[in-house]
Amino acid sequence: MTFGTRLAKAVAERGALCVGIDPHPGLLAEWGLPQDVSGLERFALTCVEAFGGHVSLVKPQSAFFEAYGSKGVAVLERVIAGLRDADTLVLVDAKRGDIGSTMAAYAAAYLTEGSPLAGDAVTVSPFLGFGSLDPAIEAARAHGRGVFVLARTSNPEGAGVQGALLPDGRTVAQSIVDGAAEANAGAEPLGDVGLVIGATLAELDVDLSALNGPVLAPGFGAQGGTTADLRRLFGAELRGVLPTTSRDVLRHGPGTAPLRAAALRVRAEVS
């Protein structure tokens, strides 16, 4: 079963919300946890217990685990395994991007069956050229997984690169959208190549009409994005849009029940 098919099935059953697991040092402190691997592990596995089986997609932020070295990466591996055991799709937010054999190695790590770091999808960066992502897209298809490509992010620094004009008159961001659309052409019900587009943009300055794939919309909740923003940017139906929240839900820890209740409230809000 393709990632697009599995994602559509999960959204139909559990709504479109994606919840992030971001073990930020500030959140560990708020939860009363030590800022070491033991605190990281308690934080992350509490989130697995709270969200697994209750939302469509969970997005662990790889950097917060990598900050603790190999032991932190081992915790990330446990998070991925725990969520998959709970029949919950896992998007590893690693934002990898390179060329040739290096990109192929990233793809092997995050998209290949048998790798302990392989979730159901991974975030990737296309700014070495969309074609540099070919090894990741090929690996994703071969193993029933997906990729989410950075396209139009809402950080102020992103606009200068993503809005730059190419010789053919398109913006860089639109060229990324078009590359994803080409990769998804003909897929049913959704393609396996998604995009990352910020939920707090002032306006949507790319054309998504041909995308035929999912859109991860970070920035919902604590970063200021609202349901009205989502509908303004992506249309009233929000087909294929995955609103993403992290701290707005995670601040309700450390109890499992309050975390789950917060996630379900937000899930209902964006449904």
- Crossing angle of helices 256-270 and 227-234, rounded to 10°: 40
Residues in a beta bridge with 58: 19, 90
Around 154, how many Cα atoms within 13 Å sit in the side-chain half-sphere? 19
Terminal C-alpha separation, the chain: 25
Distance CA 33, CA 57 (A): 25
Residue 9 designated active-site: no
Tokens standing for 8? Answer: 């559509």
DSSP 154-206: -STTHHHHHTPBPTTS-BHHHHHHHHHHHHHTT-SS--SEEEEE-TT-SS--S
Pairing verdict, β 193-197 and 121-124: unpaired
C-beta separation of 252 from 262 below 8 A: yes
> Other C-beta atoms within 10 Å of 235: how many?
12
Q: Which residue's structure tokens are 């700014």? A: 127
Distance CA 133, CA 104 (A): 9
Cis status, amide bond into 156, omega within 30 of 0: no
Q: Which residues are catalytic?
A: 95
